[in-house]
Structure 1
Amino acid sequence: MEFVSEQENKGIWRVKGSRIPKKRDMVAGIITPDRNREQEAYYLTPAARDAGTGLLNKRAWTEYTIEQLNRKDGQVRWLVIIDIDDFKHINDTYGHIFGDQVIRRVAEIMQELVGQRGVIGRFGGDEYVILLEKVETREQLKTLLKTIAKEFALAFDPKTHATASIGVSEYPVDGSEYEELMRKADKALYLAKEKGKNRHIIYEERLHGKLESDDMQNMAMAYAVSKEKKREVITKMITELCVSDVNSIVKKEERLQQIRSLFDLDGITIYSESGAQLVCRNGNYMVEVPDGRGLFEDEKYLALFGDDDNFIESNTLKLRSQDPAAFAVMQKQEIGAFLQCLCRKEGVPNVIVNFDVFNRNRKWSDEDITLLTILGHCIGNLLNYSE
């Protein structure tokens, strides 16, 4: 038998190993402090909240998540890591006050959409985490993540371009321990960043490989190195173009293949002289080269280029309603996505540089758009100059 006694200013005490003697109004036993009842879970305390967003802080979310995983009940749970894309650029461009507003608004959107289905935490900076406990199927998960991405896009001015990359792991399929699940979600996040950002990836060993002990460190380094590598290579190519001539790139098979490999492209096609001249066509295109003059004569198609003379499409199916003739050309060549740079000569469209992707969609990252645009216009302008 035991009972608990609580006295003001004296804490909580528990009587252990007690017995009731013949005198019924007495209890005999050993009295010790009830340490377990004195210690409230940290995630339930006011200190557990992040000051900037009101979400659980890193320690509190981690403590709660480990506690739930330790139940070992087999219930499906998803560990989600969300990272705002290019947040440093947002801070540098619009200021830290606006950056803080983005942080808070993103937190509000997730709270509204996740609701009672999970617990959200902020790991610091622009990174958030969610333990989803009431999302049973992968289809439900995908719907939720797509809705979050859509709401992010609607919440800010398009010029701000606030998007997020998301990595996910599944309990108990991907493991039962916190560290393993977090590392797999983190790997999925890095893959999402590497593939162009503004997307979610759900970890699958079959698709993404086993997780090695130093995998995350290598992934992080590879992502950082890949960005620097692209910048370094494009800078050297532009210098080479300026010092030599445009043929040092467009007539060099190894240079074109290097560009394709670096940016995960399937083909590069360049027309000059308003489509009359095929400058180069590098890649395993499945059909014969089309007559480029048709594109330059298609006013509807040329109108799709922006003020910066770029036309970027992640899914060529969108062309079906915009320009059926151009769509037919793309479909015949099995082009699924493209980035095109139009260069004018004395105000007249004269060169188009096409960076193509076959039979798949492609979400172009800001980094790739910037570098390919610089390279494409540099090539196009030099071709105009050399004619």
Structure 2
Amino acid sequence: MDYIERAKAIVDNNLFIHSMDREIYQHLEKVVDIYSSIEPAIHKDDVGLLIDAFKRPLDTDTMVTLRLLGDGTDYDWYIVIIKSVTASVSDNPLFELEFINFRYLTALTSDERLDLKKFSTLLSMYNNMYFEYSSEDNLFTLHSFINDDNTIITSEDLDTWSKAKIEAYPSSADCISVMVMNLKNGFSNFQLDMPNSDVFAKGDSLPAQIMCQAIRTDSSFTTVGIIRSYSVVDSPMEKPTFNNDRDPLLNILNKKSIIAYTKQCMARKNPSFYLTIFDLDNFKQVNDNFGHLEGDRVLCEVASVVKEQIKGYGVVGRIGGDELMIILEDIEDKITLRNILRNIRTKIEILYKTKPRDYGVTCSMGAVKYPDFASTYEELFKLADKMLYLAKQKGKNRYIMYVPELHASLGIVPNNVTIDPSKIVTFTDKLNVSKAILEDYLTRRIITNATIVSILASTYQLDDVQLMYNNFETSLRYLNGNTISDIKLTPVIPDLLELESLYDESGIIAITGLYKIEATAPKLTQFMSDNKIQSAVIYRLMNRKETDGYILFAKCISRYQWTNEEILMFTTFGKAFELAMYNLT
């Protein structure tokens, strides 16, 4: 038969195909790319009729007549009944088109099933591998199709397959996780880029492209997908795709999908992951000063940074204008989490500091671990949101991870967390720790300089502590958990005269950001920048009346507002060191 008798398809208002049934697959496979537009199959004079029909109110069915291409070059006349399948306010509305040939006005039975074998054969023509997923039994089957020979590579439970592949190919873990989520949720049409095609079958380890289509029956669905290695295509597909699960601007998960993925992670056996809420600082001024198109470009750049930094650890989705949600799995310790969040924060700050325009864009993040501190999604999200608010309140451009003992003093305690009052880290707690080590240092002489520096860094969450003394010839540095005593490995502030000009009457310099000193102290600014220091307190060490060195207390966070209590405590430690080292009375 050289015409469709009766069939349905779902398209958007640009005529791109989202799904279609067996009859139209059979008819159009020779005349149109099923992943592209239905437009080439419609007579050019009738395309406008269909597009105009989409613009009409679709509270009731709308009908048009048009010509559709047959097997050859001839056209047949069809009645097309149009139904809206999404809300009219949708940015990308979808329409169901029911084609009824003028030569065939008798309806087919409604329970006719799709021919999956026919569809699978069609998909395999694009490449020699495809897969099927059945929602009915969670079965994932991978096929090799070469010279009409269909070989099953594997057929197993989807969860079992994905777990093994994530362990074997950690760089593809985020893509595998998103693929599994999309398959289980039955997303009708989606496309993903897999970093390594060996996930499916051993080969050349090149990146691969996955393209999937769900075929629904009354009670279940089957999703069929093709796998295309970039070795057989010139580049990733450039045709538009309208994925139900992704944000169209940023090409990351949309709000609905990232929430669904989070809840899926929560439902796993022995779940463990971090939820992080990300928000851009000062983003409104980009839109206000440079326009929304420039704002969109900034958002795309930021999303790319985040995706690059979390690769292999998790996924990211957009939950608001400039707000993202990041789910990080397989994080063994807080150090790994800190490194990921610090890299995101630093790279975004550097990205926009080096731009010709002064955007002033940085980012703030709040992170919480599940299930340690929350039992429901709502609790988890609210807690991460409070950490984000706290990061903003403390000066922006930072990340804050929820620590019960630290944040209980602010009244932030989830219902499922019991706090030992003795472990709450308030300023009083820090003061008590400081008093104890000072007593051990000055009176009992049982703590070394290296120990006191490491305790200081831990207690006050410092990224770098540098002790320079003995007329700047002896040094001690605490950096990234390591103590370094080699003077050759400890950088020295280059211009001591410039430094002297900045001390206040108490011999203290408090720096909240490099922008505050770049005009008056360019060499100190360069020194701090070279050492990734953004905020610092510097105490001048005095051997009687002579400057003998300094202690630098530093953070990698820009615009960190040092509290009076912190500055007082650092001053106290400086005085204690002078008393101990110079035998001052």
Structure 1 length-normalised TM: 0.50
**Larger relative helix fraction:** 1
Larger RCO of the pair (alpha carbons < 8 Å, separation 6+): 1
